[in-house]
Chains A and B, each alone.
Chain A
Amino acid sequence: MRSSVVVAILLWSAAAAFGARAQPAPAFSWTLPARFPTPRVPPNNPMSDAKVTLGRFLFYDTRLSGNGTQACATCHEQARAFTDGRAQAVGSTGEVHPRGSMSLVNVAYAATLTWGDPTVTRLEDQALVPMFGTHPVELGLTKDDPTLMARLRLEPRYRTLFAQAFTTDTDPFSLEHVTQALAAFERTVISARSPYDRYHTDRDDTAISASARRGETLFFSQPLSCFRCHGGFTFSGAVDFEGRRQGGEGGVEFHNTGLYNIAGLLSYPPPNTGAYEATHKPEDIGKFKAPTLRNIAVTAPYMHDGSAATLEDVVAHYAAGGRTIASGPYQGVGHDNPNKSPTIRGFVLTPDQRDDLIAFLRALTDEPLLRDPRFGNPWKESQ
Protein backbone atom coordinates (compact mmCIF):
# COMPACT_ATOMS: atom_id res chain seq x y z
CA MET A 1 0.00 0.00 0.00
CA ARG A 2 2.72 2.37 1.06
CA SER A 3 4.75 1.62 -2.07
CA SER A 4 1.68 2.34 -4.21
CA VAL A 5 1.31 5.72 -2.58
CA VAL A 6 5.00 6.47 -3.14
CA VAL A 7 4.74 5.47 -6.78
CA ALA A 8 1.64 7.59 -7.19
CA ILE A 9 3.36 10.60 -5.65
CA LEU A 10 6.39 10.10 -7.86
CA LEU A 11 4.20 9.82 -10.93
CA TRP A 12 2.28 12.92 -9.93
CA SER A 13 5.54 14.80 -9.38
CA ALA A 14 6.89 13.67 -12.75
CA ALA A 15 3.66 14.66 -14.47
CA ALA A 16 3.68 18.03 -12.72
CA ALA A 17 7.30 18.63 -13.71
CA PHE A 18 6.56 17.64 -17.30
CA GLY A 19 3.44 19.75 -17.36
CA ALA A 20 5.37 22.79 -16.25
CA ARG A 21 7.44 22.65 -19.41
CA ALA A 22 4.89 21.33 -21.85
CA GLN A 23 3.02 23.71 -24.11
CA PRO A 24 -0.77 23.64 -23.99
CA ALA A 25 -2.42 22.10 -27.01
CA PRO A 26 -4.87 24.60 -28.43
CA ALA A 27 -7.49 23.21 -30.74
CA PHE A 28 -6.31 23.13 -34.32
CA SER A 29 -8.43 22.42 -37.35
CA TRP A 30 -6.57 20.74 -40.19
CA THR A 31 -9.47 21.01 -42.68
CA LEU A 32 -8.06 18.02 -44.51
CA PRO A 33 -9.12 16.77 -47.94
CA ALA A 34 -11.43 13.78 -48.04
CA ARG A 35 -8.82 11.16 -48.83
CA PHE A 36 -6.19 12.47 -46.45
CA PRO A 37 -5.68 11.12 -42.92
CA THR A 38 -4.64 13.29 -39.98
CA PRO A 39 -0.88 13.85 -39.95
CA ARG A 40 1.05 12.54 -36.97
CA VAL A 41 2.62 15.45 -35.09
CA PRO A 42 5.39 15.20 -32.47
CA PRO A 43 3.77 15.25 -29.02
CA ASN A 44 5.96 18.17 -27.92
CA ASN A 45 4.97 20.31 -30.89
CA PRO A 46 1.19 20.31 -31.19
CA MET A 47 -0.29 22.34 -34.01
CA SER A 48 -1.75 25.78 -33.41
CA ASP A 49 -2.77 28.60 -35.68
CA ALA A 50 -0.38 30.96 -33.94
CA LYS A 51 2.54 28.60 -34.44
CA VAL A 52 1.67 28.14 -38.10
CA THR A 53 1.52 31.91 -38.58
CA LEU A 54 4.88 32.40 -36.91
CA GLY A 55 6.35 29.57 -38.98
CA ARG A 56 5.15 31.18 -42.17
CA PHE A 57 6.84 34.48 -41.30
CA LEU A 58 10.06 32.64 -40.44
CA PHE A 59 9.88 30.56 -43.62
CA TYR A 60 9.98 33.72 -45.71
CA ASP A 61 12.49 35.60 -43.56
CA THR A 62 16.01 36.14 -44.92
CA ARG A 63 17.19 36.80 -41.39
CA LEU A 64 17.38 33.03 -41.16
CA SER A 65 20.52 33.05 -43.32
CA GLY A 66 23.91 34.07 -42.04
CA ASN A 67 24.39 36.85 -44.58
CA GLY A 68 20.73 37.80 -44.76
CA THR A 69 20.31 36.85 -48.41
CA GLN A 70 18.20 33.69 -48.24
CA ALA A 71 15.15 32.31 -46.54
CA CYS A 72 13.73 28.80 -46.61
CA ALA A 73 11.49 30.09 -49.41
CA THR A 74 14.49 30.91 -51.57
CA CYS A 75 14.95 27.25 -52.42
CA HIS A 76 11.31 26.30 -51.78
CA GLU A 77 9.22 28.61 -53.96
CA GLN A 78 5.48 28.27 -53.69
CA ALA A 79 4.93 28.78 -57.43
CA ARG A 80 7.15 25.76 -58.10
CA ALA A 81 5.43 23.59 -55.49
CA PHE A 82 8.16 24.57 -53.04
CA THR A 83 11.13 23.66 -55.23
CA ASP A 84 13.45 26.13 -56.98
CA GLY A 85 13.70 25.13 -60.63
CA ARG A 86 17.41 24.44 -60.33
CA ALA A 87 19.12 21.13 -60.91
CA GLN A 88 21.01 21.66 -57.68
CA ALA A 89 20.23 24.18 -54.99
CA VAL A 90 22.56 27.12 -54.37
CA GLY A 91 23.21 28.21 -50.79
CA SER A 92 23.48 31.71 -49.34
CA THR A 93 27.23 31.84 -49.88
CA GLY A 94 26.96 30.60 -53.45
CA GLU A 95 27.92 27.03 -52.66
CA VAL A 96 26.18 24.59 -54.95
CA HIS A 97 24.34 21.81 -53.14
CA PRO A 98 24.97 18.31 -54.48
CA ARG A 99 21.21 17.72 -54.66
CA GLY A 100 18.09 19.55 -55.76
CA SER A 101 15.52 21.18 -53.47
CA MET A 102 12.75 18.77 -52.58
CA SER A 103 9.12 19.76 -52.76
CA LEU A 104 7.51 20.42 -49.40
CA VAL A 105 3.94 19.59 -50.37
CA ASN A 106 2.37 17.02 -48.07
CA VAL A 107 5.62 16.82 -46.13
CA ALA A 108 3.49 16.39 -43.00
CA TYR A 109 3.02 12.79 -44.09
CA ALA A 110 6.59 11.99 -45.10
CA ALA A 111 8.11 9.16 -43.08
CA THR A 112 11.58 10.40 -44.04
CA LEU A 113 12.49 13.84 -45.23
CA THR A 114 15.64 13.96 -47.29
CA TRP A 115 16.89 12.44 -50.52
CA GLY A 116 19.16 9.94 -48.86
CA ASP A 117 19.23 10.05 -45.07
CA PRO A 118 16.84 7.59 -43.41
CA THR A 119 17.55 9.07 -39.99
CA VAL A 120 15.97 12.48 -40.63
CA THR A 121 12.32 11.91 -39.85
CA ARG A 122 11.12 15.03 -38.02
CA LEU A 123 10.74 18.42 -39.66
CA GLU A 124 11.94 20.06 -36.45
CA ASP A 125 15.28 18.24 -36.83
CA GLN A 126 15.48 18.66 -40.57
CA ALA A 127 15.24 22.46 -40.31
CA LEU A 128 18.57 22.51 -38.51
CA VAL A 129 20.32 21.03 -41.55
CA PRO A 130 19.83 23.97 -43.96
CA MET A 131 20.20 26.47 -41.12
CA PHE A 132 23.49 25.27 -39.73
CA GLY A 133 24.87 22.73 -42.22
CA THR A 134 28.39 23.27 -43.43
CA HIS A 135 28.67 20.51 -46.05
CA PRO A 136 27.26 22.22 -47.98
CA VAL A 137 26.53 25.66 -46.59
CA GLU A 138 22.87 26.45 -47.20
CA LEU A 139 21.50 29.21 -45.00
CA GLY A 140 24.91 29.61 -43.44
CA LEU A 141 24.01 30.22 -39.81
CA THR A 142 26.56 29.34 -37.14
CA LYS A 143 25.62 27.14 -34.21
CA ASP A 144 25.67 28.82 -30.81
CA ASP A 145 25.99 32.21 -32.50
CA PRO A 146 23.43 34.51 -30.85
CA THR A 147 23.03 36.58 -34.01
CA LEU A 148 19.88 34.86 -35.22
CA MET A 149 17.97 35.31 -31.98
CA ALA A 150 19.19 38.89 -31.67
CA ARG A 151 17.88 39.62 -35.15
CA LEU A 152 14.52 38.04 -34.43
CA ARG A 153 14.12 39.89 -31.15
CA LEU A 154 14.62 43.17 -32.96
CA GLU A 155 11.60 42.56 -35.19
CA PRO A 156 8.54 44.00 -33.39
CA ARG A 157 6.19 41.63 -35.17
CA TYR A 158 8.05 38.62 -33.81
CA ARG A 159 7.61 39.78 -30.24
CA THR A 160 3.90 39.31 -30.73
CA LEU A 161 4.09 36.21 -32.91
CA PHE A 162 6.48 34.26 -30.66
CA ALA A 163 4.48 35.19 -27.56
CA GLN A 164 1.23 34.05 -29.19
CA ALA A 165 2.74 30.81 -30.45
CA PHE A 166 4.49 29.83 -27.22
CA THR A 167 2.31 31.21 -24.49
CA THR A 168 3.76 29.45 -21.47
CA ASP A 169 7.34 30.60 -21.92
CA THR A 170 8.60 33.70 -20.21
CA ASP A 171 11.03 34.16 -23.05
CA PRO A 172 9.58 32.47 -26.14
CA PHE A 173 12.58 33.27 -28.37
CA SER A 174 14.57 30.07 -28.83
CA LEU A 175 16.00 27.99 -31.63
CA GLU A 176 13.73 25.12 -30.63
CA HIS A 177 10.69 27.34 -31.09
CA VAL A 178 11.97 28.54 -34.46
CA THR A 179 12.20 24.98 -35.75
CA GLN A 180 8.89 24.02 -34.17
CA ALA A 181 7.11 26.92 -35.82
CA LEU A 182 8.72 26.22 -39.19
CA ALA A 183 7.65 22.58 -38.93
CA ALA A 184 4.10 23.57 -38.00
CA PHE A 185 3.82 25.82 -41.05
CA GLU A 186 5.30 23.22 -43.37
CA ARG A 187 2.80 20.63 -42.13
CA THR A 188 -0.05 22.79 -43.37
CA VAL A 189 1.17 22.77 -46.97
CA ILE A 190 -1.19 20.06 -48.13
CA SER A 191 -1.73 19.49 -51.82
CA ALA A 192 -4.98 17.83 -52.84
CA ARG A 193 -6.73 20.12 -55.30
CA SER A 194 -5.38 18.84 -58.58
CA PRO A 195 -7.58 17.74 -61.48
CA TYR A 196 -6.68 14.19 -60.45
CA ASP A 197 -8.24 14.85 -57.03
CA ARG A 198 -11.41 16.20 -58.60
CA TYR A 199 -11.59 13.08 -60.72
CA HIS A 200 -10.97 10.75 -57.80
CA THR A 201 -12.51 12.40 -54.80
CA ASP A 202 -15.33 14.31 -56.45
CA ARG A 203 -15.85 11.62 -59.11
CA ASP A 204 -15.79 14.32 -61.77
CA ASP A 205 -15.01 12.32 -64.91
CA THR A 206 -14.43 15.51 -66.87
CA ALA A 207 -11.69 16.73 -64.55
CA ILE A 208 -8.92 14.90 -66.37
CA SER A 209 -8.59 13.94 -70.02
CA ALA A 210 -9.12 10.49 -71.50
CA SER A 211 -5.39 10.50 -72.16
CA ALA A 212 -4.64 11.12 -68.48
CA ARG A 213 -7.01 8.32 -67.49
CA ARG A 214 -5.19 5.94 -69.81
CA GLY A 215 -1.98 7.21 -68.29
CA GLU A 216 -3.26 6.44 -64.82
CA THR A 217 -3.91 2.86 -65.87
CA LEU A 218 -0.36 2.61 -67.19
CA PHE A 219 1.01 4.18 -64.01
CA PHE A 220 -0.71 1.53 -61.90
CA SER A 221 0.03 -1.37 -64.26
CA GLN A 222 2.32 -4.27 -63.57
CA PRO A 223 4.72 -3.59 -66.48
CA LEU A 224 5.41 -0.01 -65.39
CA SER A 225 4.81 -0.40 -61.63
CA CYS A 226 5.37 3.34 -61.02
CA PHE A 227 2.97 3.09 -58.09
CA ARG A 228 5.17 0.65 -56.22
CA CYS A 229 7.54 3.48 -55.22
CA HIS A 230 5.36 6.55 -55.87
CA GLY A 231 2.29 5.22 -54.13
CA GLY A 232 -0.64 6.26 -52.03
CA PHE A 233 -2.31 9.62 -51.72
CA THR A 234 1.03 11.45 -51.71
CA PHE A 235 2.42 9.55 -54.72
CA SER A 236 5.65 9.14 -52.81
CA GLY A 237 7.54 6.75 -50.60
CA ALA A 238 6.57 5.77 -47.08
CA VAL A 239 4.08 7.95 -45.22
CA ASP A 240 3.04 8.30 -41.62
CA PHE A 241 -0.16 9.58 -40.05
CA GLU A 242 -2.33 9.20 -37.00
CA GLY A 243 -3.43 5.62 -36.52
CA ARG A 244 -0.97 4.14 -38.97
CA ARG A 245 0.63 1.00 -37.68
CA GLN A 246 4.32 1.74 -37.35
CA GLY A 247 6.97 -0.73 -38.39
CA GLY A 248 4.56 -2.66 -40.58
CA GLU A 249 3.90 -2.88 -44.28
CA GLY A 250 5.00 0.07 -46.37
CA GLY A 251 8.10 0.87 -44.34
CA VAL A 252 10.78 3.31 -45.32
CA GLU A 253 12.53 2.42 -48.54
CA PHE A 254 15.18 4.04 -50.66
CA HIS A 255 15.70 3.01 -54.26
CA ASN A 256 18.52 2.65 -56.72
CA THR A 257 16.88 3.24 -60.08
CA GLY A 258 19.94 2.67 -62.25
CA LEU A 259 20.50 6.35 -62.90
CA TYR A 260 24.27 5.80 -62.91
CA ASN A 261 26.76 2.97 -63.02
CA ILE A 262 30.18 4.53 -63.07
CA ALA A 263 33.35 2.47 -62.71
CA GLY A 264 34.73 1.86 -59.25
CA LEU A 265 33.40 0.78 -55.89
CA LEU A 266 30.84 3.59 -55.73
CA SER A 267 28.63 3.21 -58.75
CA TYR A 268 27.07 6.64 -58.20
CA PRO A 269 29.12 9.82 -58.54
CA PRO A 270 30.18 11.15 -55.11
CA PRO A 271 29.08 12.87 -53.03
CA ASN A 272 25.63 11.70 -54.16
CA THR A 273 25.85 8.06 -53.18
CA GLY A 274 22.39 7.94 -51.62
CA ALA A 275 21.46 6.32 -48.33
CA TYR A 276 25.00 4.92 -48.23
CA GLU A 277 26.16 8.37 -47.09
CA ALA A 278 24.25 7.84 -43.85
CA THR A 279 24.37 4.07 -43.41
CA HIS A 280 27.77 3.23 -44.96
CA LYS A 281 26.27 -0.05 -46.10
CA PRO A 282 27.44 -0.99 -49.61
CA GLU A 283 23.95 -2.21 -50.49
CA ASP A 284 22.65 1.34 -49.98
CA ILE A 285 24.82 2.88 -52.69
CA GLY A 286 22.67 4.82 -55.12
CA LYS A 287 19.49 4.48 -53.09
CA PHE A 288 17.35 7.62 -52.87
CA LYS A 289 13.90 8.51 -51.61
CA ALA A 290 11.01 8.34 -54.06
CA PRO A 291 9.80 11.96 -53.98
CA THR A 292 6.19 12.98 -54.30
CA LEU A 293 4.83 13.15 -57.83
CA ARG A 294 2.18 15.66 -56.89
CA ASN A 295 2.89 18.85 -58.84
CA ILE A 296 5.71 17.08 -60.64
CA ALA A 297 5.05 19.07 -63.82
CA VAL A 298 6.18 22.28 -62.10
CA THR A 299 9.21 20.85 -60.29
CA ALA A 300 11.65 20.22 -63.13
CA PRO A 301 14.46 19.28 -63.37
CA TYR A 302 14.19 15.82 -61.91
CA MET A 303 16.08 13.23 -59.87
CA HIS A 304 18.17 13.92 -56.79
CA ASP A 305 20.76 15.83 -58.81
CA GLY A 306 18.47 17.40 -61.39
CA SER A 307 20.11 15.35 -64.12
CA ALA A 308 16.84 14.64 -65.96
CA ALA A 309 15.56 17.83 -67.56
CA THR A 310 12.04 16.80 -68.53
CA LEU A 311 9.35 14.28 -67.71
CA GLU A 312 10.05 12.74 -71.10
CA ASP A 313 13.65 12.16 -70.00
CA VAL A 314 12.44 10.57 -66.78
CA VAL A 315 10.07 8.21 -68.58
CA ALA A 316 12.83 7.28 -71.03
CA HIS A 317 15.11 6.45 -68.11
CA TYR A 318 12.59 4.11 -66.54
CA ALA A 319 11.56 2.60 -69.87
CA ALA A 320 15.18 1.63 -70.47
CA GLY A 321 15.37 0.12 -66.99
CA GLY A 322 18.21 2.50 -66.16
CA ARG A 323 20.05 5.33 -67.82
CA THR A 324 22.97 4.80 -70.16
CA ILE A 325 25.57 7.56 -70.26
CA ALA A 326 27.71 6.92 -73.32
CA SER A 327 30.74 9.06 -72.53
CA GLY A 328 32.30 11.42 -70.03
CA PRO A 329 33.09 11.05 -66.35
CA TYR A 330 29.72 9.43 -65.58
CA GLN A 331 29.89 6.93 -68.43
CA GLY A 332 28.12 3.69 -67.66
CA VAL A 333 25.05 1.54 -68.13
CA GLY A 334 22.71 2.27 -65.25
CA HIS A 335 20.59 -0.72 -66.22
CA ASP A 336 23.37 -2.94 -64.92
CA ASN A 337 23.92 -1.18 -61.61
CA PRO A 338 24.42 -4.00 -59.08
CA ASN A 339 22.21 -2.27 -56.52
CA LYS A 340 19.37 -1.52 -58.88
CA SER A 341 15.88 -2.11 -57.55
CA PRO A 342 14.22 -5.21 -59.05
CA THR A 343 11.22 -3.01 -59.77
CA ILE A 344 13.20 -1.14 -62.43
CA ARG A 345 12.88 -3.71 -65.20
CA GLY A 346 12.21 -1.51 -68.17
CA PHE A 347 9.13 -1.45 -70.34
CA VAL A 348 7.99 -0.52 -73.81
CA LEU A 349 5.55 2.29 -74.46
CA THR A 350 4.23 3.56 -77.75
CA PRO A 351 4.65 7.33 -78.22
CA ASP A 352 0.94 7.71 -77.50
CA GLN A 353 1.22 5.72 -74.29
CA ARG A 354 4.18 7.83 -73.19
CA ASP A 355 2.09 10.93 -73.80
CA ASP A 356 -0.76 9.38 -71.82
CA LEU A 357 1.52 8.68 -68.88
CA ILE A 358 2.82 12.23 -68.90
CA ALA A 359 -0.72 13.60 -69.23
CA PHE A 360 -1.54 11.72 -66.05
CA LEU A 361 1.48 13.18 -64.26
CA ARG A 362 0.46 16.66 -65.39
CA ALA A 363 -3.00 16.06 -63.93
CA LEU A 364 -1.35 15.96 -60.49
CA THR A 365 -0.64 19.70 -60.54
CA ASP A 366 -2.49 21.55 -57.79
CA GLU A 367 -2.79 25.02 -59.29
CA PRO A 368 -4.66 26.51 -56.30
CA LEU A 369 -1.82 25.47 -54.00
CA LEU A 370 0.71 27.33 -56.12
CA ARG A 371 -1.19 30.59 -55.50
CA ASP A 372 -2.82 29.94 -52.13
CA PRO A 373 -2.27 33.03 -49.98
CA ARG A 374 -2.06 30.86 -46.85
CA PHE A 375 1.30 29.63 -48.11
CA GLY A 376 2.57 32.87 -49.63
CA ASN A 377 5.01 35.46 -48.33
CA PRO A 378 3.39 37.16 -45.30
CA TRP A 379 5.93 39.98 -45.23
CA LYS A 380 4.61 41.22 -48.57
CA GLU A 381 1.05 41.14 -47.24
CA SER A 382 1.95 43.10 -44.15
CA GLN A 383 3.97 45.82 -45.86
Chain B
Amino acid sequence: MLLVVLASIVAVLGQAPAITSDTTPVVGGDVTTPLTLTPADLKALPRTTVTVAEEGREVRYEGVLVGELLKRAGAPVGRDLSGKAVATYVRASAKDGYQVVFSLAELDPAFTANDIIVADAIDGKPLFDYQGPLRIVAPHDKRGARSIRMLQRIEVVRLVK
Protein backbone atom coordinates (compact mmCIF):
# COMPACT_ATOMS: atom_id res chain seq x y z
CA MET B 1 0.00 0.00 0.00
CA LEU B 2 2.83 2.33 0.92
CA LEU B 3 4.39 1.64 -2.45
CA VAL B 4 1.15 2.55 -4.17
CA VAL B 5 0.91 5.83 -2.26
CA LEU B 6 4.54 6.67 -2.96
CA ALA B 7 4.09 5.91 -6.63
CA SER B 8 1.04 8.14 -6.77
CA ILE B 9 2.96 10.99 -5.17
CA VAL B 10 5.81 10.57 -7.61
CA ALA B 11 3.38 10.44 -10.50
CA VAL B 12 1.65 13.64 -9.46
CA LEU B 13 4.92 15.47 -8.87
CA GLY B 14 6.08 14.47 -12.31
CA GLN B 15 2.87 15.37 -14.04
CA ALA B 16 3.02 17.29 -17.26
CA PRO B 17 0.98 20.43 -17.85
CA ALA B 18 -2.45 20.03 -19.34
CA ILE B 19 -3.22 21.19 -22.85
CA THR B 20 -4.43 24.77 -22.66
CA SER B 21 -7.73 25.77 -24.15
CA ASP B 22 -7.77 27.36 -27.56
CA THR B 23 -6.86 31.03 -27.63
CA THR B 24 -5.91 33.17 -30.58
CA PRO B 25 -2.21 32.75 -31.41
CA VAL B 26 -0.09 35.87 -31.09
CA VAL B 27 3.23 37.30 -32.18
CA GLY B 28 4.68 39.20 -29.24
CA GLY B 29 7.67 39.68 -27.00
CA ASP B 30 10.24 42.34 -27.91
CA VAL B 31 8.34 43.80 -30.86
CA THR B 32 6.77 47.18 -31.47
CA THR B 33 3.39 45.96 -32.72
CA PRO B 34 2.16 42.65 -31.28
CA LEU B 35 -0.10 40.74 -33.67
CA THR B 36 -2.90 38.29 -33.29
CA LEU B 37 -3.00 35.53 -35.87
CA THR B 38 -6.58 34.92 -36.91
CA PRO B 39 -7.23 32.69 -39.92
CA ALA B 40 -8.56 35.72 -41.81
CA ASP B 41 -5.37 37.69 -41.05
CA LEU B 42 -3.23 34.94 -42.47
CA LYS B 43 -5.32 34.53 -45.59
CA ALA B 44 -4.91 38.25 -46.33
CA LEU B 45 -1.10 38.19 -46.18
CA PRO B 46 1.35 37.11 -48.90
CA ARG B 47 1.13 33.33 -49.07
CA THR B 48 3.95 30.84 -49.32
CA THR B 49 3.70 27.14 -50.14
CA VAL B 50 6.34 24.64 -49.04
CA THR B 51 6.63 20.95 -49.73
CA VAL B 52 8.03 18.50 -47.22
CA ALA B 53 8.57 14.75 -47.34
CA GLU B 54 6.57 12.91 -44.73
CA GLU B 55 7.14 9.15 -44.66
CA GLY B 56 7.96 8.81 -48.30
CA ARG B 57 5.35 11.14 -49.71
CA GLU B 58 5.22 14.82 -50.48
CA VAL B 59 2.98 16.99 -48.34
CA ARG B 60 2.16 20.57 -49.23
CA TYR B 61 1.78 23.17 -46.50
CA GLU B 62 0.53 26.69 -47.15
CA GLY B 63 0.80 29.77 -44.99
CA VAL B 64 2.79 32.92 -44.36
CA LEU B 65 6.52 33.33 -43.85
CA VAL B 66 7.33 33.76 -40.17
CA GLY B 67 9.68 36.53 -41.29
CA GLU B 68 6.75 38.38 -42.83
CA LEU B 69 4.84 38.21 -39.56
CA LEU B 70 7.88 39.37 -37.61
CA LYS B 71 8.35 42.29 -39.96
CA ARG B 72 4.75 43.36 -39.49
CA ALA B 73 5.13 43.03 -35.73
CA GLY B 74 8.12 45.36 -35.79
CA ALA B 75 10.87 42.88 -35.01
CA PRO B 76 14.33 43.99 -36.19
CA VAL B 77 14.51 42.29 -39.57
CA GLY B 78 15.87 43.31 -42.96
CA ARG B 79 18.29 46.25 -42.61
CA ASP B 80 17.58 46.43 -38.89
CA LEU B 81 18.94 42.97 -38.30
CA SER B 82 22.53 43.91 -37.55
CA GLY B 83 24.78 44.55 -34.58
CA LYS B 84 23.21 43.63 -31.25
CA ALA B 85 19.95 42.69 -32.94
CA VAL B 86 21.58 39.64 -34.44
CA ALA B 87 21.61 38.19 -30.94
CA THR B 88 17.84 37.85 -31.03
CA TYR B 89 15.92 34.62 -30.93
CA VAL B 90 12.34 33.62 -31.51
CA ARG B 91 10.58 31.20 -29.22
CA ALA B 92 7.54 29.39 -30.58
CA SER B 93 5.21 27.77 -28.07
CA ALA B 94 2.36 25.31 -28.52
CA LYS B 95 -0.78 24.94 -26.50
CA ASP B 96 0.50 21.63 -25.16
CA GLY B 97 3.56 23.31 -23.64
CA TYR B 98 6.03 22.32 -26.35
CA GLN B 99 8.53 25.02 -27.27
CA VAL B 100 11.16 25.47 -29.97
CA VAL B 101 13.65 28.20 -30.78
CA PHE B 102 14.88 29.81 -33.98
CA SER B 103 17.41 32.57 -34.32
CA LEU B 104 15.79 35.68 -35.73
CA ALA B 105 18.29 35.64 -38.59
CA GLU B 106 17.19 32.25 -39.85
CA LEU B 107 13.61 33.51 -40.08
CA ASP B 108 14.46 36.70 -41.98
CA PRO B 109 14.28 36.26 -45.77
CA ALA B 110 16.77 39.12 -46.10
CA PHE B 111 19.27 37.10 -44.12
CA THR B 112 18.83 33.46 -45.12
CA ALA B 113 17.10 31.62 -47.91
CA ASN B 114 14.71 29.74 -45.71
CA ASP B 115 10.99 29.27 -46.17
CA ILE B 116 9.89 28.75 -42.59
CA ILE B 117 6.18 29.44 -42.48
CA VAL B 118 3.22 29.60 -40.17
CA ALA B 119 0.95 27.15 -41.96
CA ASP B 120 -2.82 27.02 -41.83
CA ALA B 121 -3.43 24.47 -44.57
CA ILE B 122 -2.20 21.03 -45.59
CA ASP B 123 -2.75 19.82 -49.13
CA GLY B 124 -5.31 22.53 -49.65
CA LYS B 125 -7.36 21.74 -46.52
CA PRO B 126 -7.30 23.14 -42.99
CA LEU B 127 -4.82 21.51 -40.65
CA PHE B 128 -6.04 18.59 -38.55
CA ASP B 129 -7.07 19.31 -34.98
CA TYR B 130 -3.89 17.81 -33.55
CA GLN B 131 -1.79 20.04 -35.80
CA GLY B 132 -3.55 23.34 -35.75
CA PRO B 133 -5.23 25.54 -36.35
CA LEU B 134 -1.71 26.87 -37.00
CA ARG B 135 1.69 25.27 -37.03
CA ILE B 136 5.20 26.20 -38.05
CA VAL B 137 6.78 24.26 -40.91
CA ALA B 138 10.56 24.41 -41.27
CA PRO B 139 10.94 22.62 -44.61
CA HIS B 140 14.72 22.51 -44.67
CA ASP B 141 15.21 21.07 -41.20
CA LYS B 142 16.37 17.46 -41.44
CA ARG B 143 14.20 16.63 -38.45
CA GLY B 144 10.63 17.72 -37.86
CA ALA B 145 11.06 18.68 -34.22
CA ARG B 146 10.94 22.44 -34.83
CA SER B 147 7.91 22.25 -37.07
CA ILE B 148 5.83 22.90 -33.99
CA ARG B 149 2.15 21.98 -34.07
CA MET B 150 -0.73 23.68 -32.24
CA LEU B 151 1.11 26.99 -32.40
CA GLN B 152 0.07 29.38 -29.64
CA ARG B 153 2.69 32.10 -29.43
CA ILE B 154 5.68 33.48 -31.27
CA GLU B 155 7.84 35.51 -28.94
CA VAL B 156 10.82 37.67 -29.92
CA VAL B 157 13.56 37.79 -27.31
CA ARG B 158 16.57 40.12 -27.59
CA LEU B 159 19.59 38.77 -25.76
CA VAL B 160 21.59 42.01 -26.03
CA LYS B 161 20.07 45.48 -25.91
* Contacts from A to B (Cβ < 8 Å): 34-35, 37-38, 200, 203, 213-214, 216-224, 232-233, 239, 241-244, 249, 319-322, 324, 326, 331-333, 335-336, 345-348
* Cβ contact within 8 Å between B11 and A37: no
Interface of B is mostly: loop
How far is A102 from B96 in the complex, measured between Cα atoms in Å? 32
Known: A213-B129, A333-B7, A345-B14. A223 touches B55 (CB 8 A): no
* Cβ contact within 8 Å between B97 and A222: yes
* Cβ contact within 8 Å between A335 and B11: yes
List, in ascending order, chain B residues with CB within 8 A of A233's CB. 55
Q: A214-B129, A221-B150, A321-B14 are in contact. List 9 more A-B contacts (CB 8 A).
A: A38-B56, A216-B128, A220-B130, A222-B98, A223-B97, A224-B16, A233-B55, A333-B3, A335-B10
B interface bracket (residues with beta carbon within 8 Å of A)? 20 to 34
Known: A216-B129, A222-B98, A243-B56. A333 touches B6 (CB 8 A): yes
* Cβ contact within 8 Å between A223 and B129: no
* Cβ contact within 8 Å between B15 and A347: yes
* Cβ contact within 8 Å between B3 and A37: no
How far is A221 from B19 in the complex, measured between Cα atoms in Å? 8
* Cβ contact within 8 Å between A37 and B14: no
Which residue of the partner chain, among B96, B125, B130, B131, contacts A223 with CB atoms under 8 Å?
B96
How far is A332 from B19 in the complex, measured between Cα atoms in Å? 31
Which residue of the partner chain, among A214, A244, A321, contacts B10 with CB atoms under 8 Å?
A321
List, in ascending order, chain A residues with CB within 8 A of B142's CB. 249
Interchain nearest-CB distance for A220 vs B (Å): 4
* Cβ contact within 8 Å between B6 and A217: no
Q: Which of B11, B12, B15 has the most CB of A within 10 A?
A: B11
How far is A363 from B151 in the complex, measured between Cα atoms in Å? 25
6 A-B pairs with the lowest CB-CB distances in the bound complex, closest first:
A37-B56, A223-B16, A221-B96, A324-B7, A222-B98, A220-B130
Interchain nearest-CB distance for B73 vs A (Å): 25
Which residue of the partner chain, among B4, B14, B96, contacts A324 with CB atoms under 8 Å?
B4
How far is A357 from B6 in the complex, measured between Cα atoms in Å? 26
Which residue of the partner chain, among A200, A222, A321, contacts B128 with CB atoms under 8 Å?
A200
Closest B residue by C-beta to A199: B128
* Cβ contact within 8 Å between B11 and A319: yes
* Cβ contact within 8 Å between A218 and B19: yes
List, in ascending order, chain A residues with CB within 8 A of B14's CB. 321, 345-346
How far is A336 from B15 in the complex, measured between Cα atoms in Å? 15
Q: Which of A224, A321, A332, A336 has the most CB of B within 10 A?
A: A321
* Cβ contact within 8 Å between A326 and B3: yes
How far is A200 from B18 in the complex, measured between Cα atoms in Å? 25
B113 at the A/B interface (Cβ < 8 Å)?
Answer: no
* Cβ contact within 8 Å between B55 and A220: no
List, in ascending order, chain A residues with CB within 8 A of B97's CB. 222-223
B44 at the A/B interface (Cβ < 8 Å)?
Answer: no
List, in ascending order, chain B residues with CB within 8 A of A331's CB. 3
Closest A residue by C-beta to B125: A203
Q: Which of A241, A322, A326 has the most CB of B within 10 A?
A: A326
List, in ascending order, chain A residues with CB within 8 A of B131's CB. 220
* Cβ contact within 8 Å between B1 and A232: no
